[in-house]
Structure 1
Amino acid sequence: MKTFTTTLVLLASLSTASVAAEDWITRESASSVDATADRLVEAVEGAGATLFARVDHAAGAQSVGQELPPTTLVIFGNPKVGTAIMQADPRAGLDLPMRVLVWQEDGRTMIGYEDPEALKARYAIEGADPSFATMAAALEKLTTVAAE
């Protein structure tokens, strides 16, 4: 399981590296990183999606004697949404399942994710518009609940 999680984190990191800042949708949370991530996980599970991983990047940094501010990546998905996108272009699997980052910046807790329209444009995907609309609505709803 540790190897699977490490591989998942590596893949998420590689695909996120090419995401431009303008492709992100972010909002501020009134709570801590941990409390915001907890609410996000609760909302994901309550929506019937599958939680694949919760990655504490700050703990990872600490394990090698380095420091990061609180930063948590939540990886989750729903095959009812992602399958149509991957049928249109299997390379989109590098960017799926969905990922939401919760981090501390300048004393504030932020929550953000890549705009699904950026994913659609990256692979020039056609024919999966309902899935992208569902993904966008789900990410908006889940992150709004988490940030409250």
Structure 2
Amino acid sequence: MKNAILFVAAVVMTLATQTAFAGQGVERLESPDAIEAVDDRLRAALNARGMTLVQVVHHAENARGVGESLPETRTFIFGNPQVGTPMMQCQGQVALDLPQKMVIREDEGRTLVEWNDPLYLAERHGLEGCDLPLDKVVEALNGIAAEAAGQ
């Protein structure tokens, strides 16, 4: 009985966490592939769309450098100044979230691809009154993530 209660509690906590992410503007896709394959596909998807890859932060490597451990986690920082500049002209504080970021990370035998929903960022930074191609940004990021995940 105790194990059943613990199992139900774990399921509820997992669902609550996933729901919390959705409310915070975090999008997520899963890939059954190893992180190296997802990394390669993400780089190819960015390159194919003419995105500038600014930096890749290797969090697990950084953690090892200070004697800590972390599942393989990489943040890709990328963008297109033709898209980002008008957003920053509309509201300068959006630079807090630009360039765009996409995280790939290992999680219990799967690789997750995660990114910020541009519509959430538009709401967060008050971009609603600006004439911006946010639907195209959403479409581009969804496509990049799907390609990276192998979908």
TM-score by length of 2: 0.81
Assess if the C-alpha contact under 8 Å between 1:85 and 1:128 holds in 2: no
**For residues 30 and 53 of structure 2, what CA distance do their matches in structure 1 show?**
22
Moved more, 29-38 or 80-89: 29-38
**RMSD of aligned alpha carbons:** 1.2
**For residues 108 and 34 of structure 1, what CA distance do their matches in structure 2 show?**
12
- Report the equivalent of 2:130: 127
- Report the equivalent of 1:57: 59
User: Alpha-carbon deviation of 1:35?
Assistant: 1.7
What count of residue pairs does the alignment treat as equivalent? 128
User: Alpha-carbon deviation of 1:73?
Assistant: 0.6
Give unpaired runs (5+ residues) of structure 1.
1-19
- Report the equivalent of 1:147: 149
Give unpaired runs (5+ residues) of structure 2.
1-19
Alignment of 1:102-117 (within 5 A): 102-117=104-119
**For residues 36 and 131 of structure 2, what CA distance do their matches in structure 1 show?**
34
User: Alpha-carbon deviation of 1:106?
Assistant: 2.1
1:137 aligns with 2:139: yes
User: Alpha-carbon deviation of 1:145?
Assistant: 0.6
User: Alpha-carbon deviation of 1:49?
Assistant: 0.9
- Report the equivalent of 1:21: 21
Work out which of the two has the higher radius of gyration on C-alpha atoms and give 1 or 2: 2
Which ranges of 4 or more aligned residues in structure 1 deviate by more than 4 Å? none
Secondary structure at 1:100's aligned position in 2? strand
User: Alpha-carbon deviation of 1:33?
Assistant: 1.5
User: Alpha-carbon deviation of 1:128?
Assistant: 3.4
1:21-46 per-residue CA deviation (whole Å, 9 max, x = no partner) reads 22111010121122212210111012
TM-score by length of 1: 0.82
User: Alpha-carbon deviation of 1:134?
Assistant: 2.0
**For residues 148 and 141 of structure 2, what CA distance do their matches in structure 1 show?**
10
Secondary structure at 1:129's aligned position in 2? coil
